[in-house]
Amino acid sequence: MAGNDDAHVDEFIETEGLVPTSHGRVWAHSRRRGAAAGVPLVIVHGGPGFPSDYLQPLDSLADERPVIRYDQISAGRSDRASDRSAWTVEAHVEHLEQVRGHFDLSRFHLLGHSWGGFLALSYADAHPDRIASVTLSSPLVDSDRWMRDAAALIERLPKADRSSLLAGPTDPGYAAAEAEYYRRYFCSIEPWPLPLQRAADSQDAASYHAMWGPNEFTNTGVLRGQSRVDAVRRLTVPSLWITGADDEARPETIREMASLTARSEVRILPGTHCTHLENPATYETALRSFLQVVDRD
């Protein structure tokens, strides 16, 4: 009987369902090992509109703690938004709070990637008592700073690509130049890893355009001019900042942002915006170590 008990506590338990929000239902997934006792981790994807599939490899942390991720409204397996009032940061904070309540989490670690970092900071600012730590993975923190960084990255492209991007989408070389930008700064693996391709295949262009714009280096949506620098300054919990050496979220910017809050740790890894896919072992080791330390404190 003891052997059966041991087998039971080592089993991975997965659940998924649709969580009601004021703008429709969002799909949420939980994975945990029966014996895992760590503080839960909630993962928030980027985009906006780029579903959580590309972050599925982080489910591997469920051997130590429950891992929860969800698709934001209109993305992936979630409902399409009921109206345009869904395209606000405040609405997304509300949806994340509904996910937290669905899983009855009193306190949890929060990880946000890219735009998900902006959302994680917004949530931590609104509900600081809920958060054990924040991991900001290649985060958007300040839209104007992101655009200045994008301009600097465009300057590194070959002259023909720079010229096409400056000329605009009607230029014959624009699509190829855009693809080169993504290859250098978004994901360098060709073809894209399956989790990333699955996310791309089910992304929601409407929410991406409404909240951000037509591409990573053109900001025309509701996030234009928005910043969460003050939310960084108000952070009181430990924070881990991870970015790639060739990331859209430039290391110089990430170090500067992390310096605005106490109890911050910065890790610059080889790779681009998807360094968690390009260097999974190094990324996972850094994240595990950080979460374990916070759990012990």
Q: Verify whether residue 295 is a known catalytic residue.
A: no
Catalytic residue check, 114: yes
DSSP the chain: -HHHHHHHHT-EEEEEEEEEEBTEEEEEEEEEETT--SPPEEEE--TTT--GGGGGGGGGGGGTS-EEEEPPTTSTTSPPPSSGGGSSHHHHHHHHHHHHHHTT-SSEEEEEETHHHHHHHHHHHH-GGGEEEEEEES---BHHHHHHHHHHHHTTS-HHHHHHHHH-TTSTTHHHHHHHHHHHHT---SSPPHHHHHHHHT--HHHHHHHT-SBTTB--STTTT-B-HHHHHH--S-EEEEEETT-SS-HHHHHHHHTTSSSEEEEEESSSTTHHHHSHHHHHHHHHHHHHHHHH-
**Is 95 a residue of the active site?**
no
Name the active-site residue from 161, 247, 264, 276: 247
Catalytically annotated residue among 23, 29, 273, 276:
273
SS3 23: coil
Distance CA 159, CA 152 (A): 13
- Active-site residue, from 30, 52, 74, 114: 114
> Would you please indicate which residues are annotated as catalytic (active-site) residues?
114, 247, 273
